[in-house]
Amino acid sequence: MREKSVISIGARGRAEAARRASRDDSKTRGDARARHTPTRRRRRRRTTRMSRGASARGAVLTRRAARVVSNARARAAMARALSNAERLQPRVDACNEITAADHAKYVPFVVDGHAVGALQPWFADELLGASGSGTLERDASGTVVFARELDTPDKRTDALRPALEALRDKGVITGWRDEIFPVTMGYGVPPLLRVERAAASLLGVRAYGVHVNGFVTLPDGTKELWVGKRAKNKQTFPSKLDHLVAGGLPDGMPPSVCVVKECGEEASVPESLAKNATAVGAVSYSMNYQGCCKRDVLFCYDLELPLDFVPTPDDGEVESFERYEISKVIDIMATTEDFKPNCCLVIIDFCVRHGFITPDEPGYVKLVQSLRVGND
């Protein structure tokens, strides 16, 4: 009996020990889980935050992309809403960008008491240095003037020519043409002197030229414009779109004669057709061209050509000709800088006169007025 009791007690002891061991093991595992639980939670929270952050960034990028698309659509809608006059105004403004403040920075070039030019300060120094004594000088106000003894147009022309040639050889004057331009107080006024055409813009003197709108009228009354593309090797504005015919007005040559000459040289237009060109007015501008004050008056001509006539380049200054609908020409001018800048003024004048731009459009008066800035 006593032995059985001892055995029973021993069994209970072993059972109790087993339960304690099991509790200890559970506690150990629980403690281990407790130790790792915060880490797991932190990982889950971090993953959740990253997921939410990525979603937020994606949403921000989506909203930004939507705004970009929306703004682009708004600008396109605005462009479509603008009238032709408003769309083309920037092309005219680009030719009239010199302000009164800009003029104040130039050095006046005065001949026989008349302010005929405007020099960049650096070019005034170059010109005075190349002229030597007895030709040009600065007066008390800093104005560049001729020496007093050079009191006739021929004397001034002969005295200044060597200085201009020296600046050509030095590379200061580029695009030398061996064409003589008159320096005058206004169109039709006797010249005060004569200079090489390439020096005109550096001297800031007013120059004159002719531009011809060559066009055809289709059987339905639609008008199309002949557009030239300037040669790649042109000294100025290479590969730009241009008129059928355009050129500077040489000294002593009437504009109508110049038109016939340029028509034959640039587009192989026979004299019999070129003589039909009609003078329709003039445009003028004052622009900053390569740091110089370029002041030009362009005499405008319209020349209606037969439908079967195709102009061809002759003197190497034009690469090709193509006929465009007027609406396409307007779009090219309004949306690109493909045209030579001053051509835009003449073509816009053509569009005004032929009813492609009308007083019904907003911006009409401003556009028309800005085509003629500083006419003599």
pLDDT digits (tens, 9 = 90+) for 4-39: 443 444 445 555 555 665 555 555 555 544 454 455
State pLDDT tens for residues 62-114.
666 666 666 656 555 555 589 999 999 999 999 998 877 777 889 999 999 99
What are the C-alpha distances in Å from 295 to residues 77, 141, 247, 249, 299? 36, 23, 15, 14, 14
Q: For position 104, what pLDDT does the model report?
A: 84
Instruction: With cut-offs at 50, 70 and 90, classify the pLDDT of residue 2.
Output: very low
Phi, psi of 317 (to 5 degrees): -85, -20
Please, where are the H alpha helices in the chain? Answer: 2-81, 84-93, 100-105, 121-131, 153-170, 200-203, 255-267, 271-274, 326-335, 341-353, 364-369
% of the chain beyond a pLDDT of 90: 68
Residue 103 confidence (pLDDT): 79
Mean pLDDT, to the nearest integer, of 115-135? 93
> Who contacts 272 (Cβ-Cβ below 8 Å, separation ≥6)?
none
When pLDDT is cut at 50, 70 and 90, the band that residue 183 belongs to is very high
Sheet holding 144-146, edge to edge: 114-119, 107-111, 144-146, 136-138
- Could you tell me the pLDDT band of residue 223, with boundaries at 50, 70 and 90? very high
Model confidence band, residue 314 (pLDDT cutoffs 50, 70, 90): confident
Q: For residues 174-205, b (16+ Cβ closer than 10 Å) or e, as one string?
A: eebeeeebbbbbeeeeebbbbbbbbbbbbbbb
Confidence band for 56, pLDDT divided at 50, 70 and 90: low
Grade residue 317 by pLDDT with cuts at 50, 70 and 90. Answer: confident
pLDDT, tens only, 258-298 = 999 999 999 999 999 999 999 999 999 999 887 788 899 99
User: When comparing pLDDT for 17 and 343, which is higher?
Assistant: 343
Please tell me which residue, 189 or 72, carries the higher pLDDT value.
189
pLDDT of residue 101: 78
Bridging pattern class, strands 278-289 and 223-230:
unpaired
Share of the chain residues as helix, strand and coil, in percent rounded to the nearest 5: 45, 25, 30
CA–CA gap between residue 227 and residue 214 (Å, rounded): 8
Q: What is the pTM of this model?
A: 0.76
